[in-house]
């Protein structure tokens, strides 16, 4: 019998070139794995059943490559995509590695750095969207922040951030690109503190843009967990707002550095509710893994990592189906929350104001979530369903 948890293209799994391409360097030690060339990554991911790849501009070409070198790398990558039936599911710009961005890109105090950042983003869009047809372009402002607030104004920084997003959406419209933008929040790391630190703050910011309809969010599991938040709640709000344009799946131990661990490797229950939400919400975008293999791994261990991310996702999607079919679980699940609350009207309120409530009796009844949660745990632990 075929393994039901083997990924297929229909699952829409994708990985960034930088994820499986991560070479295991950390602040205390150098790289431990050789560089994988992009065409090789495309080929190995396709073999594992992935559907797409994502990239930063400089994952594929060097920041100082001449045009001929850049073109050669792009052509080799395009050939690998075609040969392996893979798509570019998302593009983004590296606005954080080069020292020129040490105090930010869109929010750098230096206007020339801000103009250079815009030039770099638009050039990246020309390739990733114009040529590779990526439907989503992500903005991760990893350097948009501060270690000290003594040097610059956080109020002005948000204004500059807005101007950059406005410039970019106007550029995309002008070029008639079929693309949506997704902003990714991080509370800190690599900066001491980063502006637009959570998906919630990004959602509010988007409404202040010239083209809010073109901009959504790219929430990342680990980033919201670093802020101590419940990722399922974060994604639920993004979905409800119609703003979940992309997602970065990984995992994290609470209270640690930005770990980018294999999806589902730490917080199984959190991962379950997330997968259940994505699968049941009608979300049609990429299931993108923004994570990397442990530093302990040799090159083959990287593909164990990639296969593990996808396999765990599929197992949890299967568990979500069991949750929906489980009569005991369904009997305890509060479907009455799906019933709308009253809409205000003068007449309606006159009635509501006189409605009699036996609040003592209403307060008496327990919710049985202890029992329900244990059933869910048993489902996840494999002794139920
Ligand atoms: Mn990410």
Distance CA 123, CA 104 (A): 19
What are the pLDDT digits (tens) for 35-89?
999 999 999 999 999 999 999 999 999 999 999 999 999 999 999 999 999 999 9
Do 251 and 366 lie in one domain? The reply is no
* Residue with token string 């979905």: 239
Spacing, Cα 248 to ligand 1 middle (Å)? 5
Q: What is the domain-level CATH number for residue 284?
A: 3.20.20.150
Total tally of structural domains belonging to the chain: 2
What are the pLDDT digits (tens) for 204-263?
999 999 999 999 999 999 999 999 999 999 999 999 999 999 999 999 999 999 999 999
Domain boundary among 275, 296, 321: 321
pLDDT for 2 equals: 80
Do 362 and 269 lie in one domain? The reply is no
Residue ranges in 175-283 assigned as alpha helix (H): 199-206, 221-226, 231-240, 268-281
Question: Exposure string (b/e) for 229-238, b if CB count within 10 Å is 16 or more?
Answer: bebbebbbbb
Among residues 214, 189, 185, the alpha carbon closest in space to that of 202 is found at 185
Identify the three-state secondary structure at position 237. helix
Cβ(125)–Cβ(50) below 8 Å: no
Spacing, Cα 21 to ligand 1 middle (Å)? 14
Spacing, Cα 250 to ligand 1 middle (Å)? 9
Q: Which residues are catalytic?
A: 56, 59
Do 266 and 189 lie in one domain? The reply is yes
**Residue 4 counted as domain residue:** no
Spacing, Cα 290 to ligand 1 middle (Å)? 5
What are the pLDDT digits (tens) for 275-306?
999 999 999 999 999 999 999 999 999 999 99
Distance CA 73, CA 139 (A): 23
* Residue with token string 């297929």: 8
**Residue 32 counted as domain residue:** yes
Cβ(196)–Cβ(202) below 8 Å: yes
Query: Which residues constitute the domain of residue 371?
Result: 327-380
The residues, ordered by sequence, that sit 6+ positions from 47 with a Cβ below 8 Å of its Cβ are none
**Residue 104 counted as domain residue:** yes
Distance CA 237, CA 253 (A): 23
The residues, ordered by sequence, that sit 6+ positions from 82 with a Cβ below 8 Å of its Cβ are none
What are the pLDDT digits (tens) for 296-346?
999 999 999 999 999 999 999 999 999 999 999 999 999 999 999 999 999
* Residue with token string 């938040």: 229
Distance CA 285, CA 138 (A): 13
**Residue 385 counted as domain residue:** no
Spacing, Cα 330 to ligand 1 middle (Å)? 34
pLDDT for 1 equals: 61
The mean pLDDT value of the chain amounts to 98
**Residue 123 counted as domain residue:** yes
């Amino acid at each position: 019998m075929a393994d039901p948890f083997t990924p297929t293209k229909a699952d829409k799994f994708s990985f960034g070139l930088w994820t499986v391409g991560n070479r295991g360097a950390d602040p205390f030690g150098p790289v431990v794995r050789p560089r994988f060339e992009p065409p090789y990554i495309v080929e190995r991911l396709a073999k594992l059943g992935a559907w797409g790849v994502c990239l930063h501009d400089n994952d594929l070409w060097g920041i100082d490559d001449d045009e001929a070198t850049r073109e050669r790398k792009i052509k080799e990558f395009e050939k690998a995509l075609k040969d392996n039936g893979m798509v570019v599911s998302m593009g983004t710009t590296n606005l954080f590695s080069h020292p020129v961005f040490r105090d930010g890109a869109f929010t750098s105090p230096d206007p020339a750095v801000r103009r250079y950042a815009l030039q770099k983003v638009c050039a990246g869009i020309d390739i990733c969207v114009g040529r590779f047809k990526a439907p989503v372009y992500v903005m991760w402002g990893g350097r948009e922040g501060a270690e000290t607030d003594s040097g610059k104004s956080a109020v002005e920084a948000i204004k500059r951030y807005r101007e950059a997003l406005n410039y970019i959406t106007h550029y995309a419209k002008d070029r008639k690109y079929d693309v949506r933008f997704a902003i990714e929040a991080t509370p800190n790391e690599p900066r001491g503190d980063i502006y637009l630190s959570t998906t919630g703050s990004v959602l509010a910011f988007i409404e202040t843009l010239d083209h809010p309809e073109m901009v959504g969010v790219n929430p990342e599991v680990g980033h919201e967990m670093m802020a101590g938040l419940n990722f399922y709640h974060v994604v639920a709000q993004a979905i409800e707002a119609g703003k979940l344009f992309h997602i970065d799946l990984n995992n994290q131990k609470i209270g640690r550095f930005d770990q980018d661990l294999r999806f589902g490797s730490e917080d199984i229950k959190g991962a379950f509710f997330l997968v259940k939400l994505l699968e049941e919400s009608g979300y049609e975008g990429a299931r993108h893994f923004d994570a990397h293999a442990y530093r302990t791994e040799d090159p083959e261990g990287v593909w164990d990592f990639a296969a593990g991310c996808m396999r765990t996702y599929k197992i949890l999607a299967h568990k979500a189906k069991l949750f929906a079919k489980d009569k005991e679980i369904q009997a305890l699940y509060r479907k009455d929350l799906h019933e709308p609350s009253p809409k205000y009207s003068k007449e309606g309120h006159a009635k509501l104001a006189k409605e009699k409530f036996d609040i003592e009796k209403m307060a008496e009844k327990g919710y049985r979530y202890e029992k329900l949660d244990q059933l869910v745990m048993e489902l996840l632990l494999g002794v139920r369903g």
